[in-house]
Amino acid sequence: MLKTIEKICEDVILYNGKSITLLIFLAALIFLWFFEKNKCVRTALIYLSIAELIIFACPIYAWIGMKIDEAIYYRVFWALPVGILVCYALVLFVSHFDTFGKKAVVAVMAVLLIGLNGRLVYTNSLHFRSSNAYHIPAQVIELADALKLDNYKPIAVLPAELLPFFRQYSADVFTPYGRNMIEPQWNFKSELYDAMEGNPQEYDAAKVAECARNENCAYVVLSSAKQIKGSMEEQNYFLLNFVQGYFIYMDCNYYEIYKERNLLDADVIERKEAVSAQPQA
């Protein structure tokens, strides 16, 4: 039970961040307790919020909730109408002043309180100007289009930075793993992922090729930002395309199988024939 209480406190601290939102919320509740006369509002917002606060902080309730899913227990706090009650209390406070000038000054102070206590969501470093309606990086789109075959869904291994986005755009290519692999707390393991991402400076072509074949990958996509120890050609791959900083290699074994079964697009065959026609270094 002590552990549950600790977890509740931890969730409250994490939820509140470095702000004083919880204090503002409690102040708003106290203010409304004394000044709100409408019985419907008292019942549906004030009493209910207080009861929810007590229930959600109750160790027995929290223990049951955490048994279901400990990681997301903090979401029960969403059921507290924090924003609605705080803003309502602020407007009621503004309305208590008699002249327009006084009301305007207090309203500006209320806006300052909201702004200074909070953090603007748009200044978050994860916000970017979008370049397309999908809201995913343009290179993912070009890469997915380059990997797609009209008559077959191949398997491709991709660099980690593409994993969160690739499958949001296309399901026409299978991937041995996705974003699950880049979340360390989820504890997924893959030898292929280790071969691709284990060394941030360099790919070991032999290791990548071996692991990719174990995972039945027809395509291996490598970032041009990293060096390649050895070459994929030595591992019986050929360079199919270079798209937005990424090399797309195709396994020659899969190429033959797909070709035999008429699964390849004409441009892939053309590219392979062009590569084969080049004199060997």
Select from 9, 47, 242, 244 the one that contacts other proteins (CB under 8 A): 47
145 binds other proteins (CB under 8 A): no
> Residue 63: beta bridge partners?
none
Q: Which of residues 67-96 bind other proteins (CB under 8 A)?
A: 68-69, 72, 74-79, 81-84, 86-88, 90-91, 94-95
Alpha carbon distance 193, 76 (integer Å)? 36
One character per residue 240-279, x = contact with other proteins (rule: CB under 8 A): ----------------------------------------
For residue 264, give both structure tokens: 């390849």
Q: Which is nearer to other proteins, 48 or 243 (CB)?
A: 48
Distance of CA 126 to the CA centre of its chain: 10
Q: Which is nearer to other proteins, 195 or 205 (CB)?
A: 195
128 binds other proteins (CB under 8 A): yes
Contact by Cβ (8 Å): 242, 275: no
- Least distance in Å: CB of 256 to other proteins? 24
Query: CA-based Rg of the chain, rounded to a whole angstrom?
Result: 29
Q: Is 196 exposed, middle or buried (0-12, 13-18, 19+ CB in 10 A)?
A: buried
Select from 70, 161, 172, 204 the one that contacts other proteins (CB under 8 A): 172
- Which region, judged by CB under 8 A, interacts with other proteins, from 166-174, 192-200, 244-252, 271-279? 166-174
Alpha carbon distance 222, 230 (integer Å)? 13
3 binds other proteins (CB under 8 A): no
Q: Which is nearer to other proteins, 2 or 14 (CB)?
A: 14
Alpha carbon distance 228, 160 (integer Å)? 16
Contact by Cβ (8 Å): 251, 219: yes
Select from 23, 30, 55, 257 the one that contacts other proteins (CB under 8 A): 55
